[in-house]
Amino acid sequence: MFFKNRRILVIGGTGTVGRSIVKHILQEEPEVIRVFSRDEHKQFELQNELNRDARISLLIGDIRNYDRVSEAMEGMDYVFHTAAMKHVSFCEKNPLEAVLTNIIGTYNVIKAAKQHNVQKVVFTSTDKAISPTNNYGATKLSAEKLISSAEYAKGRGGTVFCAVRFGNVLGSRGSVIPLFVKQVREGKAITVTDLSVTRFMMTLDQATQLTIQSLQMSKGGETFILKMPVIKLKDLAELVAEETPKKYRMAPSGVDIVEIGLKPGEKRYEELMTYDESLSAYELPGLYIVPSPFAPKQTYKHASRPKPGTYSSEGAIPLTKEEVRKIIMEQNLI
């Protein structure tokens, strides 16, 4: 087992993906898992959920504060950096706050990891970092560059850094499904920004597995990208409208779906890679690997070269509505 008797720090460990990573690693008998976040209530909830497991150490802190990040990093073998400002609209309205958390915070993580000679660090990014039209994507792109360039600037240190690029994680705090369900249960119309929107979709388990697998595989500076199916927002809204009344035994009255327009900075589609990245990328059955331009050339077992392209959700064939329904019901997202 990869994490047996190891010491792990999960930054943002009370978020949706962070919690899932913590629960997964606990099964591999680690020596300790430090959960670092600034939300004391969610730490309290996690502590109770895990029955006050003695291997869990809960640390209140903010990645903007280097000294606190450095304290949390001391003695750690592996670090998962999942903390971020994630909501597009809030990052648009509060751009400096997003910079402080997503860019300066990531720099603090890198600096502390090198200071304490951590073995490996994995950073969670987003497909919105590709051709960004919003501040959230721009800050995540800058953070990705920090991770990639850490290979160039780390000197004699042995810390290995890598990033994972997520699509939309179904059922997470940033997902629209909980919002849609809440609107239906309150007897309101489902509000959709634009029915033509398409997105790359992944389940929470896929996000967790990709992050852990990437940490294990990383050789230095890579960005790992899961091959994800595309869904149409229209299908998602219609499915929630159909399934929520059944689940909560509500009157089977029609649920209205109302378009409200794209939010500032929001895109109709997303991309997984830039064209230039695809020229240097490797392809495995379930993911793509974009190597750092600053790291020594690496090879990956059974990897091939992908077809050049940006891999846009706009040009991809989306899942059928019934395929999306199956995923939603299997994952118990309503």
- Two tokens at 223? 């960005």
128 annotated active-site: yes
Three-class secondary structure of residue 271 per DSSP: strand
Output phi, psi for 230, to 5 deg.
-105, 140
Per-residue b or e along 15-47, where b marks 16 or more CB atoms closer than 10 Å to that residue's CB: bbbbbbbbeebbeeebebbbbbbbeeebbeebe
User: E strand or H helix at 65, and its extent?
Assistant: none
**Bridging pattern class, strands 160-166 and 120-126:** parallel
The Cβ of residue 248 has, within 10 Å, a number of other Cβ atoms equal to 11
| Active-site position among 86, 128, 232, 267 | 128
DSSP 228-257: --EEEHHHHHHHHHHHHHHHTT-------E
Residue with tokens 């793509």: 288
Distance CA 26, CA 179 (A): 30
Q: What strands lie across the sheet with 198-202, from one edge to the other?
A: 168-169, 198-202, 230-232
Q: Tokens at residue 29, please?
A: 């008998």
3-state secondary structure of 93: helix
| Sign of torsion over alpha carbons 90, 95, 100, 103 | positive
Helix-helix angle 233-247:177-185, to 10 degrees: 50
Q: Hey, which residues are catalytic here?
A: 128
